[in-house]
């Protein structure tokens, strides 16, 4: 059985632990170096990227995590987690750092303040099926290298379509929250399953 860690410094850790458990992994919270070293894959949850960045550095986890990702550990980030996986940010605060796992520029709070939270129907490009997605003060991918595979796009307030789910090698990032199901709906665990498939 694979062990999937959820970075447990801030954000919606519990929901990701539940999703990782549903897809058949042993799910554990990661707050310390020894815990990071023990996992086969890691999820960076949604929350507040500026806080996650600061806490990663305060807990001396930033460089070890970056090194593990660059050594090939499968990683998935949702929302603030997507921001953490970018090489470049638009709308970051002064001094905000990211882990540079995916060659992409991510725009924070891209859907605008008025769209604090929204649910929408996306097309999951790998198989053309529908995917219900929950966005909360979500980022989008402003630009990415040709090697980055776009898994889903959504229309922004600018009327343009923007990537909201991408994959590059061992790293997956989504603007939306795949750990959250629509009220009354069953959980759609395809993104978490994709992470487990990379282990």
- Residue closer to ligand GLN by CB (options 47, 146) is 47
| 74 belongs to the binding site for ligand GLN (CB under 6 A) | no
| 191 belongs to the binding site for ligand GLN (CB under 6 A) | no
179 is catalytic: yes
| 96 belongs to the binding site for ligand GLN (CB under 6 A) | no
| 7 belongs to the binding site for ligand GLN (CB under 6 A) | no
> Which run of H or E residues covers position 50?
helix 49-58
Catalytic residue among 15, 79, 162, 192: 79
Residues 124-153 that bind ligand GLN (CB under 6 A): 136-137
Q: Quick one: which of 4, 23, 36, 83 contacts ligand GLN (CB under 6 A)?
A: 83
Q: Please state, in angstroms and as integers, the Cα–Cα distance from residue 189 to each residue in 75, 126, 127, 138, 177, following that order.
A: 15, 14, 14, 19, 11
- Residue ranges of E strands in 12-160: 26-30, 41-44, 75-78, 86-90, 102-107, 117-124, 129-136, 140-144, 149-155
Name residue, tokens 């999951």. Answer: 124
Question: Could you list the residues that contact ligand GLN (CB under 6 A)?
Answer: 46-49, 79-80, 83, 108-109, 136-137
Active site residues: 79, 177, 179
């Amino acid at each position: 059985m694979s062990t999937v860690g959820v970075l447990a410094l801030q954000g919606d850790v519990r929901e990701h632990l539940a999703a990782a458990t549903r897809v058949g992994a042993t799910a554990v919270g990661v707050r310390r170096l020894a815990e990071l070293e023990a996992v086969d894959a890691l999820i960076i949850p949604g929350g507040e990227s500026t806080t996650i960045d600061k806490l990663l550095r305060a807990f001396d986890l930033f460089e070890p995590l970056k090194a593990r990702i660059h050594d090939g550990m499968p990683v998935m980030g949702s929302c603030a987690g997507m921001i953490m996986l970018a090489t470049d940010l638009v709308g970051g605060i002064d001094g905000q750092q990211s882990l540079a796992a995916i060659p992409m520029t991510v725009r924070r709070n891209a859907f605008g303040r008025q769209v604090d939270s929204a649910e929408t129907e996306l097309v999951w490009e790998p198989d053309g099926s529908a995917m219900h997605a929950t966005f909360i003060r979500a980022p989008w991918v402003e630009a990415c290298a040709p090697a980055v595979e776009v898994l889903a796009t959504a229309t922004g307030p600018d009327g343009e379509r923007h990537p909201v789910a991408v994959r590059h090698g061992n790293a997956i990032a989504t603007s939306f929250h795949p750990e959250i199901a629509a009220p009354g709906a069953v959980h759609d665990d395809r993104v978490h399953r994709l992470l487990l498939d990379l282990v």
